[in-house]
Amino acid sequence: FDDMHKEPAGVFTLRGERTCPHFLHYRCAVEIQESSRGGAHCPVCRRKFDSVLQIPNIQDDPAAWFKAVDLSGDNSLNE
Protein backbone atom coordinates (compact mmCIF):
# COMPACT_ATOMS: atom_id res chain seq x y z
CA PHE A 1 0.00 0.00 0.00
CA ASP A 2 1.41 3.34 -1.08
CA ASP A 3 0.67 6.67 0.59
CA MET A 4 -2.38 8.32 -0.99
CA HIS A 5 -0.78 11.77 -1.22
CA LYS A 6 2.03 10.58 -3.49
CA GLU A 7 -0.07 10.16 -6.65
CA PRO A 8 -3.47 11.11 -8.08
CA ALA A 9 -6.58 9.71 -6.42
CA GLY A 10 -9.65 8.31 -8.11
CA VAL A 11 -13.23 7.45 -7.25
CA PHE A 12 -15.74 5.10 -8.81
CA THR A 13 -18.80 6.42 -10.63
CA LEU A 14 -21.93 4.91 -12.11
CA ARG A 15 -23.67 6.91 -14.84
CA GLY A 16 -21.62 9.95 -13.81
CA GLU A 17 -22.42 9.84 -10.08
CA ARG A 18 -20.17 8.69 -7.24
CA THR A 19 -21.05 5.18 -6.16
CA CYS A 20 -19.27 4.93 -2.83
CA PRO A 21 -17.14 6.99 -0.41
CA HIS A 22 -13.86 5.21 -1.13
CA PHE A 23 -10.76 6.83 -2.61
CA LEU A 24 -8.05 4.79 -4.29
CA HIS A 25 -4.95 5.59 -6.27
CA TYR A 26 -6.23 6.47 -9.72
CA ARG A 27 -3.98 3.90 -11.39
CA CYS A 28 -5.22 1.16 -9.05
CA ALA A 29 -8.86 2.07 -9.67
CA VAL A 30 -8.29 1.91 -13.44
CA GLU A 31 -6.58 -1.48 -13.06
CA ILE A 32 -9.60 -2.75 -11.13
CA GLN A 33 -11.93 -1.49 -13.85
CA GLU A 34 -9.87 -3.00 -16.67
CA SER A 35 -9.50 -6.39 -14.97
CA SER A 36 -13.16 -6.76 -14.01
CA ARG A 37 -15.25 -9.34 -15.78
CA GLY A 38 -19.01 -9.34 -15.57
CA GLY A 39 -19.24 -5.91 -13.95
CA ALA A 40 -16.84 -3.80 -11.96
CA HIS A 41 -17.26 -3.46 -8.20
CA CYS A 42 -15.50 -1.43 -5.51
CA PRO A 43 -13.06 -3.78 -3.73
CA VAL A 44 -14.01 -2.27 -0.36
CA CYS A 45 -17.83 -2.15 -0.40
CA ARG A 46 -18.66 -4.10 -3.60
CA ARG A 47 -20.84 -1.35 -5.09
CA LYS A 48 -21.04 -1.49 -8.87
CA PHE A 49 -19.33 1.17 -11.01
CA ASP A 50 -18.85 1.85 -14.71
CA SER A 51 -16.13 4.50 -14.70
CA VAL A 52 -13.23 5.93 -12.72
CA LEU A 53 -12.96 9.67 -12.08
CA GLN A 54 -9.56 11.14 -11.34
CA ILE A 55 -9.81 13.66 -8.51
CA PRO A 56 -8.61 17.06 -9.79
CA ASN A 57 -5.89 18.91 -7.95
CA ILE A 58 -7.55 21.23 -5.44
CA GLN A 59 -5.07 24.03 -6.17
CA ASP A 60 -5.57 23.83 -9.94
CA ASP A 61 -9.38 23.54 -9.97
CA PRO A 62 -11.10 23.92 -6.58
CA ALA A 63 -14.62 23.75 -8.04
CA ALA A 64 -13.95 20.48 -9.89
CA TRP A 65 -12.24 19.06 -6.80
CA PHE A 66 -15.26 19.91 -4.63
CA LYS A 67 -17.68 18.41 -7.14
CA ALA A 68 -15.64 15.19 -7.24
CA VAL A 69 -15.46 14.77 -3.46
CA ASP A 70 -19.06 15.85 -2.69
CA LEU A 71 -20.39 12.31 -2.36
CA SER A 72 -24.03 13.20 -1.73
CA GLY A 73 -24.17 16.01 -4.29
CA ASP A 74 -25.69 18.37 -1.75
CA ASN A 75 -22.93 21.03 -1.95
CA SER A 76 -21.46 20.10 1.41
CA LEU A 77 -18.71 17.83 2.63
CA ASN A 78 -19.88 15.06 4.89
CA GLU A 79 -18.04 12.30 6.68
The predicted-structure confidence for 23-78, as pLDDT tens digits, reads as follows: 999 999 999 999 987 789 999 999 999 999 999 999 999 999 999 999 888 888 87
Contacts of 69 (CB under 8 A, 6+ apart): 11, 55, 77
Instruction: Answer whether 25's CB lies under 8 Å from 10's CB.
Output: yes
CA distances, 59 to each of 26, 31, 35, 56, 69 (Å)? 18, 26, 32, 9, 14
